[in-house]
Amino acid sequence: MSALSTRDWLLSDRPASRRQARLGQAYRTWSHLRANKLAMVGLGIVVVLILMAIFANIIAPYDPIRGGDLRTERLLPPSWAHLMGTDDQARDIFSRIVHGSRLTLMVVALVAVIATPIGLAVGTTAGYFGGWVDTVLMRITDIFLAFPRLILALAFVAALGPGIENAIIAIAITSWPPYARLARAETLTIRDADYIAAIRLQGAGSTRIIWGHVVPLCLSSVIVRVTLDMAGIILTAAGLGFLGLGAQPPQPEWGAMIAAGRRFMIDFWWVATMPGIAIFVVSLGFNLLGDGLRDVLDPKGET
Amino acid sequence: MSVSPANEGGRWRALSILGMKVGKLIATVAITFLGLLVVTFLIGRVVPVDPVLAVVGDRASKSTYDAAYIALGLDKPLYHQFFIYLQQALSGDLGTSVLTKKPIVEDIARVFPATLELATAGIILGTLFGVPLGVWGAVRQGKLPDQVIRVVGLIGYSAPIFWLGLLGLLVFYAKLNWVAGPGRIDIAYEYSVTQKTGLLLIDTAMHGQWGAFRNVLAHLALPATLLGYFSMAYISRMTRSFMLAELGQEYIIAARVKGVAEWRIIWIHALRNAAVPLVTVIALSYAGLLEGSVLTETVFAWPGLGQYLTNSLQNADMNAVLGGTLVIGIIFVGLNLLSDLLYTVLDPRVRRRT
């Protein structure tokens, strides 16, 4: 075989192995995505967030929990020493925001990890079996959809007690219904396909068919949907934090930081403004990335 | 000419189909309502707070505690407890608030008009600006107006509403003094307004109290604009995509060929057809504003349902929290149902498909 460039190998229309085909597909998706400038900005923001979370100890110049001298370093305006100023406990706001990225990322990741499998399981089961299983599962889904998300999350947190873990559970419980609906719709289109019938004739059980052959096909649209929802998850978590029901002080959670800065908003604007900018930029990033991914992976989606 | 028997039969069939559809709708709503109650009931059971202690206090004697335990029905099996809860809820009894010592239903009836006024003002603003903006964006697809919508939408989807509210208060109230501060009305006017509907704008206008009316408006302006902005982001985006779908249809080409003026094609022909799905979108964002009000009301000290909920939450008043959650759930279901019905009324194609 003559010297093939990596790109030719990836874009070959006759992949020699399954791995080559998969990598080629990923490469095509990536080059589509790369053409979308806004999506790239979004991706950049998300990557920066992740790096910030990993290297928080190196990036943050001060301790996020222990403040400086309470007599001289409280509520200082932004300067070179304190990029975003200090708060009422003489803590450096920039350092707190950097460390807060860990909490934000943790919330997003855990909610996605908890809610996606629930949605997939409910949706594919309902779609695959149909009949009364479908009716019962979809009724339950509709009931969860009948509550506004933030309100239901509030009620759950009220019951479980405030705290970041409970906020994550509450948000996950309120997040899965749309994924279930989506997975069900996808399942309905593939459950009567010939290859499913072929697997069934080979003697595969329902569980095996669903998790081995239906779920993988629903995965990409559900993942796009989860990415699109991530901004919403961040905003809900920040909202819970703002109401005092999410992360508890002195944890550097962005929503809770806004709530803490609210009392002296008029004289010391930066205390509440800076964490708000952080939330805004990060959810903007996830929104841009999600929009771009939807355009690439799901051409049926809205314009 | 008399109606032929065949036609008569067709009408009966249509009627029975309609009857079945209404029956199914009622069944769906009933099941959803039951589901809402199950969810609030179950949330109420997992609370780590001992409901008996909340009633008798932690210094009650053993016998008082046991009496209250039985009076609350906690000795009965779970399904029996749910049955009691269901019975009470259906007769309009959601329990008593530990905080205000009043029935929850009474409390909610008192605070709800404030939320209703705010959300209604918000949705009116959102629709008034969102629909034309969306139409404009669809007509100028890819040009400047379209980009404006995109940016407006992105900010609306990404910014935390409570943060924008705080910034708004800082700039327009504290620095510029264009609007009034938190609250619904100045204390000076508070007891002079005769409350009839609970909607202060209407109450003051009805009694000709124009000073108070202006004051209410000044208080309402900022939170309503904020909620309006968030619904505008959604409405304009959806209007844009519905209009794009309509403008690509053949009847638009036919109208152009006939020589119909462009503004007529856009605002009369296309928008009228886009309006059908748009009604659903507006109803949904109206419901969404009720949700957004929880955070907005906290920021603006607005004495509505959202603030009632958060206050109850912070005081571990579970009855009030679950009652409020249930009421909001019911409103949500109601608005969804309403938008479904409006859809049928507005779109003859859906009607014929019955």
Which of A44-53, A57-66, B56-65, B69-78 has maximum average pLDDT? A44-53
Residue B239's nearest CA partner among B128, B144, B322, B344 is B128
| Of B38, B170, B321, Cβ closest to residue A266 | B170
Q: Do A139 and B48 touch (CB under 8 A)?
A: no
| Predicted pLDDT of residue B2 | 44
Cα–Cα distance for residue pair B350/B276, rounded to 1 Å: 10
What is the residue-averaged pLDDT of chain B? Answer: 81
Helix (H, G, I), strand (E, B) or coil at B332: helix
What are the structural domain ranges in chain B? Answer: 7-91, 104-351
Cβ contacts of A126 within 8 Å, gap of 6 or more: A133, A134, A137, A138, A141, A180, A184, A187
Q: Do A272 and B43 touch (CB under 8 A)?
A: no
Domain span at residue A46 reads 31-60+81-301
Task: Give domain status of residue A149, yes or no.
Answer: yes
Contact A199, A213 (CB under 8 A): yes
Shortest Cα distance from B353 to chain A (angstroms)?
22
Cα–Cα distance for residue pair B201/B308, rounded to 1 Å: 21
Q: Do B167 and A235 touch (CB under 8 A)?
A: no
Per-residue pLDDT reduced to its tens digit, B205-237: 777 777 777 888 888 889 999 999 989 988 998
Give the domain CATH number at A99. Answer: 1.10.3720.10
Cα–Cα distance for residue pair A143/B30, rounded to 1 Å: 11
Handedness of CA B74, B79, B80, B82 (dihedral sign): positive
Contact B308, B322 (CB under 8 A): no
Q: What share of chain B in percent tops pLDDT 70?
A: 89
| Predicted pLDDT of residue A301 | 46
Q: Do A159 and B47 touch (CB under 8 A)?
A: yes
Q: What total number of domains does chain A contain?
A: 1
Average pLDDT on B178-182 reads 80
Shortest Cα distance from A235 to chain B (angstroms)?
6
Cα–Cα distance for residue pair B298/B278, rounded to 1 Å: 30
Helix (H, G, I), strand (E, B) or coil at A92: strand
Cα–Cα distance for residue pair B293/B163, rounded to 1 Å: 13
| Predicted pLDDT of residue B51 | 66
Does the interface ipTM go beyond 0.90?
no
Cβ contacts of A22 within 8 Å, gap of 6 or more: none
Fold held by B104-351: MetI-like fold (1.10.3720)
Cα–Cα distance for residue pair B272/B266, rounded to 1 Å: 9
| Confidence band of B354 (pLDDT split at 50, 70, 90) | very low
Per-residue pLDDT reduced to its tens digit, A41-59: 999 999 999 999 999 888 8
Per-residue pLDDT reduced to its tens digit, B229-261: 989 988 998 898 888 888 888 888 888 888 888
| Confidence band of A278 (pLDDT split at 50, 70, 90) | very high
Which H, E and C letters describe A214-225, residue by residue?
A: HHHHHHHHHHHH
Cα–Cα distance for residue pair B233/B292, rounded to 1 Å: 14
Burial of A127 (0-12, 13-18, 19+ CB in 10 A): buried
Q: How many other CB atoms are found less than 10 A from the CB of residue B338?
A: 15
Report how many Cβ contacts below 8 Å link chain A to chain B.
Answer: 140
Determine the residue among A45, A144, A151 to mutate to test chain B binding: the one whose Cβ has the most chain B Cβ atoms within 10 Å. A151
Handedness of CA A24, A27, A29, A31 (dihedral sign): negative
Cα–Cα distance for residue pair A175/B325, rounded to 1 Å: 17
Task: Give domain status of residue A26, yes or no.
Answer: no
* A224 alpha carbon, distance to own chain's centre: 10
Q: How many other CB atoms are found less than 10 A from the CB of residue B78?
A: 10
Q: Do A258 and B162 touch (CB under 8 A)?
A: yes
A276 chain-B contacts, CB cut-off 8 A = 159-160, 163-164, 166-167
Task: Give domain status of residue A11, yes or no.
Answer: no
Coarse DSSP helix, strand, coil percentages of chain A, rounded to the nearest 5 percent: 75, 0, 25
B169 chain-A contacts, CB cut-off 8 A = 265
Q: Which residue of A has its CA nearest to B50?
A: A159
Cα–Cα distance for residue pair B209/B217, rounded to 1 Å: 12
Out of A156-165, B96-105, B261-270, pick the least confident. B96-105
Average pLDDT on B122-142 reads 89
Q: Which residue has the tokens 């249809």?
A: B249
Shortest Cα distance from A31 to chain B (angstroms)?
22
Q: Do B321 and A231 touch (CB under 8 A)?
A: no
DSSP string of A178-246, one letter each residue: HHHHHHHHHHHHHTTSHHHHHHHHTT--HHHHIIIIIHHHHHHHHHHHHHHHHHHHHHHHHHHHHTTSS
Contact A281, A44 (CB under 8 A): no
**β-bridge mates for residue A92, sequence order:** A86
Task: Give domain status of residue A229, yes or no.
Answer: yes
